[in-house]
Structure 1
Amino acid sequence: MKDAKPHRHRFRVIIQHAVWLYHRFSLSYRDVQELLHQRGIEVSHETVREWCIKFGSLFAQELRHREPRRGSRWHLDEVCTTVDGVRHWLWRAVDEHGFVQGIVLQRHRDTDAAKTLLTTLLGEYHVPEAIHTDQLQRYGAAIQELSSLVQVGHQEVVSAARCNNLIEQSHRPTRRQERQQQGFKRKKRTQEFLNLHARIENLRHHSRTSVPAETRRINQKQAFQTWSMIAAGVA
């Protein structure tokens, strides 16, 4: 079981659980290896890493295809991060309910970068009723360059405004993972990691709200069932 070869997917239950643990919680590969070992599963942390790399993007794609079309208002924001010591910008979009719609890691914080985020969103979702951004002027310039968004209402808000809380809160899980990993190392790997991390956050979104315990457990059960279903089809 030391090797994660394509034909050895009879371990898919273990694989999907390992990948879930790594992306759901702020854990290292060695942490996941230890948790599996506690349950009597002997696997190296390097194998856990290979599983996350091999199956992560596939899981993210399946989850994205199963997500309903949510929201009609986009909240956009960007935060600075480092990848292998080089400054990058993490561009994110959430809807009015707080579900992550898109996340794009880019080298620059300019009009082209803002346009890339918007183009990515338009490829996945319908044209929104409104777009909320901070006061970065690049957003307005990018919106004007996209004909499908010219008539969409664009509202700029200050970063500290309460109406911007949805997007600000959405950055927090990523920051926790960044600290756990002691910074991101490779751009492609980081983008793949963040794609699945965002989809898992969406999956458990209803379980972290202030709802009765029974409702929360039902939501969590549904999230587990959805994850197991897509994982069984991939691994």
Structure 2
Amino acid sequence: MRDHYKGYRLPKSVIGFAVRYYYRSKISLRDLSEMLQDRGLSVTYETIRNWCQTWGPVYARDIRQKRGSAFKDKWHIDEVRVKIKGEAFWLWRLVDSTGEEIEILLQRRRNAKSAIRFLKKALKRIGQPPRVMVTDKLKSYNKAHRVLLRTSEHRSHKRSNNRAENSHQPTREKERQMRGFKTPGYAQRFLSSMGAFLNLLKVKRYSVSAKEYRQKLKESLSIFHEIVVSHPQSI
């Protein structure tokens, strides 16, 4: 099997390494360029940006296909304010009870119509409603629950949605590192891909033993490596 994607001068493994680190870690394009230079590879940060924009969504799609949709049946939903070029947007995020991201959607509004649109998108991906839906006190969720999730229990007690609220932290960290998102479309594409990378690669090291952590990380990296090397030569 060829070790290069068609039209690229560097091996698949190098492209996969750069894309993985950019989506998984709080690292800049210039830092990645220096890391590769330290390994004897001269790559500009603009080239790495192109790799990430081209291959990030492709790898993310393959990660989702490999892992399937076996999420827990307890959903935590929350929304966070994101400013893009001075304009306010709302990033809606849905995670399961283990913190795995199921769906995100960047929208201009924080009303019932937006909540329904977001949950429809999530249901289309999962294919079935949750057993429990946990939200904050936003009243828009009440209507969305009545319209789409009548069979699910709806909980909105104080502090019961810390799981979803904590899931926004990587977005905030990456937003600061990137000095803000440039357009709503780019933010949606990037954050959606980042969620897939984190689901696979962010092993919860503090909830398992060191031996189990190393084994889980090894398995996750093996899955990602398989995706990188087995992908078609061009897209």
Q: Same fold by TM-score, threshold 0.5 exceeded? A: yes
State the alpha-carbon separation in 2 of the partners of residues 98 and 206 from structure 1. Answer: 11
The equivalent residue for 2:198 is: 201
The equivalent residue for 2:163 is: 166
Q: Determine if contact 1:33/1:48 at 8 Å carries over to the other structure.
A: yes
1:150-204 CA distance string (max 9 Å, x none): 222111123xx1x322112211111110110111111111111111211121113
The equivalent residue for 2:218 is: 221
**Aligned AA (2:229):** A
Q: Determine if contact 1:90/1:104 at 8 Å carries over to the other structure.
A: yes
- Residue segments in structure 2 that go unaligned for 5+ positions in a row: none
State the alpha-carbon separation in 1 of the partners of residues 207 and 55 from structure 2. Answer: 32
The equivalent residue for 1:58 is: 58
* 1:135 lines up with 2:137 in the alignment: yes
| Cα offset, 1:70, TM superposition | 1.6
Q: Determine if contact 1:143/1:150 at 8 Å carries over to the other structure.
A: yes
**Aligned AA (1:43):** V
- Residue segments in structure 1 that go unaligned for 5+ positions in a row: none
Pairs within 5 Å for 1:2-151: 6-8=6-8, 11-68=11-68, 69-125=70-126, 126-146=128-148, 149-151=149-151
Q: Determine if contact 2:96/2:102 at 8 Å carries over to the other structure.
A: yes
| Cα offset, 1:7, TM superposition | 2.6
| Cα offset, 1:112, TM superposition | 1.8
1:87-126 CA distance string (max 9 Å, x none): 1111001111111111111111111211121011101112
* Paired residue secondary structure (2:134): strand
Match of 1:175 among 172, 175, 186: 172
| Cα offset, 1:38, TM superposition | 0.8
- Runs of 4+ aligned structure 1 residues displaced above 4 Å come to none
Q: Determine if contact 1:88/1:105 at 8 Å carries over to the other structure.
A: yes
* Paired residue secondary structure (1:206): coil
* Paired residue secondary structure (2:189): helix
State the alpha-carbon separation in 2 of the partners of residues 157 and 96 from structure 1. Answer: 16
* Paired residue secondary structure (2:218): helix
| Cα offset, 1:10, TM superposition | 5.7
State the alpha-carbon separation in 2 of the partners of residues 57 and 6 from structure 1. Answer: 18
Match of 1:190 among 179, 187, 191: 187
- Give the share of equivalent positions with the same residue, in percent: 34
1:50-84 CA distance string (max 9 Å, x none): 01111111111111112241200110000001122
Q: Determine if contact 1:56/1:192 at 8 Å carries over to the other structure.
A: no
State the alpha-carbon separation in 2 of the partners of residues 95 and 16 from structure 1. Answer: 27
TM-score when normalising by structure 1: 0.91
State the alpha-carbon separation in 1 of the partners of residues 43 and 96 from structure 2. Answer: 39
* Paired residue secondary structure (1:175): helix
| Cα offset, 1:5, TM superposition | 8.4
| Cα offset, 1:6, TM superposition | 4.7
Question: Which structure dedicates a bigger proportion of its chain to helix?
Answer: 1
What is the total number of aligned residue pairs between the two structures? 227
1:126-154 CA distance string (max 9 Å, x none): 211110100101111122222xx122211
